[in-house]
Amino acid sequence: MRRAAILFILLVTIGSIAYQAPYIKVIGEGWIYAPAVSQVGGRYVGALVNISLIVTEGSGNVYVSTSPLTEIDMQATAQIAARTACNLLGLNFSKYDFLYMVRADSIIVGGPSAGAVMTILTYSVLSGKPINRSVMMTGTINPDGSVGQVGGVKEKMEAAISGGAKLFLVPPGQSVVTTYSYSYKKIGPFTVRYITSQKVNLTKLAREKYGVAVREIGDIREALSYFLGVKISEKESVKPSYPSTIETVINEVNSRIKSETLRILGEASTRKSQANPLLYYTIVQLIAKANSTIRLAEQAPTFRKMLLYRESLSLAKEAELLTYSETSDVLEKKVKEIISDFSNLANRTAPCWCDACILGLQYLVQAEIELADAEKMWKESLLDALSAASKAYADIFIAKQLTEQQAGKFRNKLIASKDLLTDTSAILAYSQALVQGPGKSYLTNARILYDLAKKYLLNGEECKAAIALVESQSYAELALSYEQALISQKATQNILERSRAKAALLAGETQNCSMLPAYYYYLADSSRSFQEKYLYYRLAAHFSQLLSGNHIVSYTQTHSNNSKEKPRNPITPSQPQTEAENEIDLKKLALLVILIALIVYLAFRKH
């Protein structure tokens, strides 16, 4: 009787603890079809993949379960899809956990082409908006919300139609695709394969053969209107005010760079006859190129002048260093002076930074990368090492001039938040999974900057870490967009138009705290190449978000729901548990385990 009473008390206690124990709150769940490509008998065929999603309260974790197994890029795709959907809804990604389950009847090829569809699904689950099942699409999702091109569009269209789609959405420029047919002919002992290519208009084919519409879309916001009946209108972008304060500073700095360049060119010209005869012609070429670059700078638009003057200073310094090639001890001393200048400038600290100071820090970050390159190449290729050291010298000189400026009314201290670090990591991983061609060089830059940012964080250098992370994001996005821009002139134009509009919008919104984004906006406008334009537009956008303390783009939304399904009410997650609450939960769990062990002991103890 006594034992029964004890057991009863223990069971009541356990029940009370279990009732109060923490639980996972499910925000929502849903599913969607994603057209994919599968390889069957040596040829590619379309297939439908079922992607389901459960969203819970959490801390920004993304889990992917696939059956059968898919390529690793599916994980990176899910990360970007979840983040993009949260950005569009203005939600904090780090307060949710996402579990994607991908199911297919056969092994599918790749995962990025489901990125746009996964973003639609995530938006639907988070907002409670039902999906129109008569719409399907293919396309990658880029961090800025644009939809990227994919392969196997014709096969995916056929799979979508077989699954009941009445509207099939494709990336820009892919409503017309090229298909290939093969024929074989025996010629003597050899078999010759002939390849015939043919342009196929998918819009015409789908309409005439299946009665299905095919439409091109360039942005995930367009897709949302078809899938969910949701209209997301970005605020009207207005060209930001001209950053005249920064222009004044840069004009002064340009004058100093030019003077320093001419001084060094004078020394190099005087000493060139003392150089190694084998290097004499190289020195003459460097001096001539530095002079011609100065002339280009004098004719360039205001904000491009500094880039060209920087190049001329680097060339002049390289020529001067080469004149000491016969005296290795003096040459080594000259390089050590550059390193010493960097260390002295890098050790300076300030509680806050004006726009010019932040720009100066960017040059200092670049100088650190170049000095590291010079150190690596010193024993392998002296000429390459001196070239890198000369670039570092130019960047250190410019950084010093800019960080001495206190122009303008704005003071900002950049903070490298945990969100900024994880965002950059996700974008970098996604780009590495997708970029296989000419964009790889920009990925290398992104990786170097990301690793440097982590080092800065360990050293407590928040400002430089934030700058390195922003630049890393921008280079990773450039790697993605550059490969897509190579597809066609239309793709190039679309990418630049979108990035310019977003840069204008965000730079305009940040003018009350910084003119640095506007500086990058106008620098992009005055640039010629796609790479420079896109990079500077992205820097304008990212610095706008960083300086305003907001990593989530704000949009004005109007919703219309034409579906007959009854939507769920969107749920706002509760506040995350504090450390004290977590400690209490662990104590409860430990007590629960002890009580269960005691029950088992009492129940089975021999009389």
Q: Is the pLDDT of residue 390 over 90?
A: yes
102 and 82 inside one domain: yes
Which of 505, 511, 512 is CA-nearest to residue 553?
505
30 and 153 inside one domain: yes
326 phi/psi in degrees, rounded to 5: -80, -15
Q: Residue 121 and residue 131: Cα distance in Å, rounded?
A: 8
Task: Look at 584 and 406; give whichever has higher pLDDT.
Answer: 406
Q: Is the pLDDT of residue 6 over 80?
A: no
pLDDT bracket for residue 550 (50, 70, 90)? very low
527 to 22, 358, 470, 501: CA distances (angstroms): 56, 21, 20, 16
Q: Is the pLDDT of residue 398 over 60?
A: yes
pLDDT tens track for 112-154: 788 999 999 999 999 999 999 999 999 999 888 889 888 889 9
Q: Give the 3-state secondary structure of residue 355.
A: helix
Greatest CA separation for the chain: 109
Q: Is the pLDDT of residue 233 over 90?
A: no
Which of 273, 47, 3 is CA-nearest to residue 155?
47
7 and 121 inside one domain: no
Contacts within 8 Å (CB) and 24+ apart, 582-586: 585/21, 585/22
401 to 254, 255, 260, 398, 404: CA distances (angstroms): 9, 11, 12, 5, 5
Mean pLDDT throughout 215-227?
A: 93
Do residues 389 and 378 lie in contact, with contact meaning Cβ atoms separated by under 8 Å?
A: no
Do residues 410 and 514 lie in contact, with contact meaning Cβ atoms separated by under 8 Å?
A: yes
Q: Residue 517 and residue 541: Cα distance in Å, rounded?
A: 7
Residue 605, judged by CB atoms within 10 A of its CB (0-12, 13-18, 19+), counts as exposed
Mean pLDDT throughout 547-554?
A: 53
| Number of structural domains in the chain | 2
Q: How many CB atoms lie within 10 A of CB 394?
A: 27
CA-based end-to-end distance of the chain? 14
Which of 602, 591, 555, 607 is CA-nearest to residue 231?
555
- R_g over Cα of the chain: 30
123 and 217 inside one domain: yes
> SS3 for 313-346, per residue?
HHHHHHHHHHCCCCCHHHHHHHHHHHHHHHHHHH
Does residue 544 fall inside a structural domain? no
Residues pairing with 181 in the sheet: 196
Q: Is the pLDDT of residue 40 over 60?
A: yes
Among 233, 248, 266, the domain-final residue is: 233
pLDDT tens track for 476-533: 999 999 988 887 787 888 889 889 999 999 998 888 888 899 999 999 999 989 999 9
144 and 220 inside one domain: yes
Which of 220, 240, 310 is CA-nearest to residue 503?
240
Q: Average per-residue pLDDT in the chain?
A: 83
- Which residue, chain included where needed, has tokens 């700095």? 253
75 and 139 inside one domain: yes
227 and 198 inside one domain: yes
- The CATH code of the domain that includes 138 is 3.30.230.10
Residues pairing with 39 in the sheet: 44
Does residue 282 fall inside a structural domain? no
Among 202, 233, 264, the domain-final residue is: 233
Give the neighbor-by-neighbor strand order of the sheet with 43-57.
26-40, 43-57, 96-103, 61-67
12 and 93 inside one domain: no
The pTM assigned to this predicted structure is: 0.81
Does residue 107 fall inside a structural domain? yes
C-alpha angle 148-152-155 in degrees, rounded to nearest 5:
130
Q: Which helix (H) or strand (E) holds 398?
A: helix 382-403
pLDDT for the residue 380: 84
String of b and e for 562-591 (b: at least 16 CB within 10 Å)? eeeeeebeeeeeeeeeeeeeeeeeeeeeee
15 to 8, 9, 215, 581: CA distances (angstroms): 11, 10, 57, 20
Among 181, 215, 233, the domain-final residue is: 233
Q: How many residues does the chain have?
A: 607
Domain that holds residue 54: 26-233
String of b and e for 397-408 (b: at least 16 CB within 10 Å)? bbbbbbbebebb
Q: Is the pLDDT of residue 565 over 80?
A: no
Do residues 393 and 313 lie in contact, with contact meaning Cβ atoms separated by under 8 Å?
A: yes
Does residue 267 fall inside a structural domain? no
7 and 113 inside one domain: no
Does residue 100 fall inside a structural domain? yes
Q: Residue 135 and residue 161: Cα distance in Å, rounded?
A: 10
Task: Look at 103 and 259; give whichever has higher pLDDT.
Answer: 259
Task: Look at 118 and 243; give whichever has higher pLDDT.
Answer: 118
Lowest mean pLDDT among 45-54, 534-543, 596-605: 596-605
In the chain, the amino acid numbered 570 is: P
83 and 10 inside one domain: no
Q: Give the 3-state secondary structure of residue 60.
A: coil
pLDDT bracket for residue 403 (50, 70, 90)? confident
Mean pLDDT throughout 309-329?
A: 91
Q: Is the pLDDT of residue 244 over 90?
A: no
Task: Look at 497 and 73; give whichever has higher pLDDT.
Answer: 497
Residue 326 token pair:
């016969």
Q: Give the 3-state secondary structure of residue 275.
A: coil
pLDDT tens track for 168-189: 999 988 888 887 777 788 887 8
Does residue 134 fall inside a structural domain? yes
540 to 241, 313, 329: CA distances (angstroms): 13, 26, 44
Does residue 326 fall inside a structural domain? no
74 and 203 inside one domain: yes
Residues pairing with 187 in the sheet: 190
155 and 15 inside one domain: no
pLDDT tens track for 301-313: 988 999 999 999 9
Does residue 306 fall inside a structural domain? no
pLDDT bracket for residue 568 (50, 70, 90)? very low
pLDDT for the residue 326: 77
